[in-house]
Structure 1
Amino acid sequence: MKSIVFFDIDGTIATEDERAFIPQSTRDAIKRTRELGNLTFINSGRTAFNISPRIKELGFDGYICGCGTYIEYNNELMFRSIIEKDECLRIAQLMRKCNVTPVYEHTDGYFFDDKAPMTDGLRYFMEVFVDSGIDVSRRVEDDEFIFDKFVIWTNENSDMELFNREIGKNYTIIDRGNGFYENVPLGYSKATGIAKILDILGIPLENAYAIGDSMNDLSMLKAVPNSIAMGGAEVLYPYVSYITTPIENDGIYNALKHFDLI
């Protein structure tokens, strides 16, 4: 029976810095486990359009994107969650009332709000987007404005009581630290994405593995019996069944080797 391995991207497949370095040992390990008949999936908070060619060229069998709101296997769309236009517009108006800085993430692009305060976090992200060739011209006023999930940065004048009260009704709020929050429709997560693809492909849970490095990976790590934290991700150590070496010390290779997946 084949196994299936779910990988986070930033800090797991590629270093979480401006280099976005992918070790050769990671490339070799992913190639080898696939040659042995195992499946490899990206499981990311990123929406589908933001999976870079450098990641795709590694040869993954599928992608769980947007924290479980989008699933693709063998270049075929298997599942997609849709947020209605009226709800997207309601959220955009609410974010203005909360005085936070949102980025709205859709399967095929980002939307920005010029009426929101500029933050250092948003400025840095937009610089990275531009350098990566990502379109940063789309706005909430555009006719095609719609999103799958969204993130926000807070500031000293943000109304977080209003934000938590209203957004918490319909979205899971993930505190990423330093005033940065990821917001996903209730009922969707990296864990639900795993459950859906295991069901679709008929792979038993005991043959599922997940590798991550930060707290937004916790749901997927708790969803499988074979959970792996990257070396240096101490916050995850209490929750996983194996701790591998850091990413640049052959972390992915050593993890797959430990579980006899290569």
Structure 2
Amino acid sequence: MKKIIFFDIDGTIISEDENAYLPESTLKAISLAQKNGCYTYVNTGRTICNIEKRIRDIGFDGYICGCGTYIEHRGENIFYHKTPDDVCRLIEDTVKKCRAIPVYEGKDALYYDGEFEKDDRIIMFTNEFLKRGASFFTTQEKKNFGFDKFIVWTDENTDKELLYSVISRYYTIIDRGNGLLENVPKEFSKATGIYKILDILGIDISDAYAVGDSMNDLSMLQAVPNSIAMGQGVSVHKYVSYITDDIYHDGIWNALKHFELI
């Protein structure tokens, strides 16, 4: 039977530190798994425009992006959910009114409020995303922009009660810590992306594997019976069936070896 492996990007395929380290053993493991008949898929919170060339060059069979809102198989977009325009405008207006700092993530570009262009968090994000080749615009430059998911930073000046009450009507709110909220359309997650592609490809859940490192991978890790946590991903260790080594010690290679996928 055909098997399929889902990989998170940040902290799993590449390190989340300043090195953004991509182990040679990871490249070899993914290539060998494919030669052994496995599908390999990225499953990430990033939207598709935010996948850099060196990840693309690995040669994955497909991508689940934006927490299940976009699915691509062998270069073809086979599923896409876009937030309705009226909801986009309501969210944009509410975030501004509540004095939160947003980055809106779309299929083709990312958008931030130009009022905050000198904020250190915005500078850090734009610099990082531009390195990946993503297109970045201010909300002032692109009126009526669309997006699939978004993040906001909150602080003591934010009207959190109003912000939460509006966002939670349409989005699942993931608290990433330090005032950062990741917001994913309700009924979508890394898990829903897995179920959809398994159905499309006709693969049984027992033949699905997932590798992740943090709490935003939890839905993916709990969706499959063969769940793998990277060694440094302590927060999800208690939820998985196997804990591998960290990214600097050939974690993906060792995990795929353990499950006899390579």
Measure, in 2, the Cα distance between the counterparts of 1:153 and 1:117. Answer: 13
Q: Hey, what does 2:120 align to over in structure 1?
A: 120
Moved more, 165-174 or 200-209: 165-174
Measure, in 1, the Cα distance between the counterparts of 2:130 and 2:44. Answer: 21
The alpha carbon displacement at 1:170 in A equals 1.2
Q: Hey, what does 1:51 align to over in structure 2?
A: 51
CA gap of 1:248–1:73, structure 2 versus 1, over 3 A, is same
CA contact (8 A) 1:44 1:65 kept: yes
Q: 5+ residue gaps in structure 2?
A: none
**CA deviation profile, 1:184-236 (whole Å, cap 9, x unmatched):** 11000000000000000000000000000010000000000010000011110
Q: 5+ residue gaps in structure 1?
A: none
Once superposed, what is the RMSD of the aligned Cα atoms? 1.4
CA gap of 1:251–1:200, structure 2 versus 1, over 3 A, is same
Q: Is 2:146 the counterpart of 1:146?
A: yes
1:103-182 correspondence to structure 2 within 5 Å? 103-116=103-116, 119-139=119-139, 142-143=142-143, 145-182=145-182
Q: Hey, what does 2:253 align to over in structure 1?
A: 253
Measure, in 2, the Cα distance between the counterparts of 1:98 and 1:24. Answer: 45
Moved more, 73-82 or 130-139: 130-139
Measure, in 2, the Cα distance between the counterparts of 1:133 and 1:82. Answer: 22
Measure, in 1, the Cα distance between the counterparts of 2:122 and 2:79. Answer: 30
CA contact (8 A) 2:212 2:228 kept: yes
The code of the aligned residue for 1:147 comes to F
The alpha carbon displacement at 1:142 in A equals 1.8
Measure, in 2, the Cα distance between the counterparts of 1:106 and 1:112. Answer: 11
What's the TM-score once normalised by structure 1's chain length? 0.96
The alpha carbon displacement at 1:90 in A equals 1.0
Measure, in 1, the Cα distance between the counterparts of 2:32 and 2:52. Answer: 21
The alpha carbon displacement at 1:115 in A equals 3.4
What's the TM-score once normalised by structure 2's chain length? 0.96
CA contact (8 A) 1:111 1:140 kept: no
Measure, in 1, the Cα distance between the counterparts of 2:148 and 2:220. Answer: 19
Measure, in 2, the Cα distance between the counterparts of 1:120 and 1:252. Answer: 33
What is the aligned-residue identity percentage? Answer: 54
Measure, in 2, the Cα distance between the counterparts of 1:82 and 1:94. Answer: 19
Measure, in 2, the Cα distance between the counterparts of 1:117 and 1:166. Answer: 25
Q: Hey, what does 1:216 align to over in structure 2?
A: 216
Q: Which runs of 4+ in 1 moved over 4 A?
A: none
| SS of residue matched to 1:32 | helix
Q: Is 2:208 the counterpart of 1:228?
A: no
How many pairs are equivalent? 262
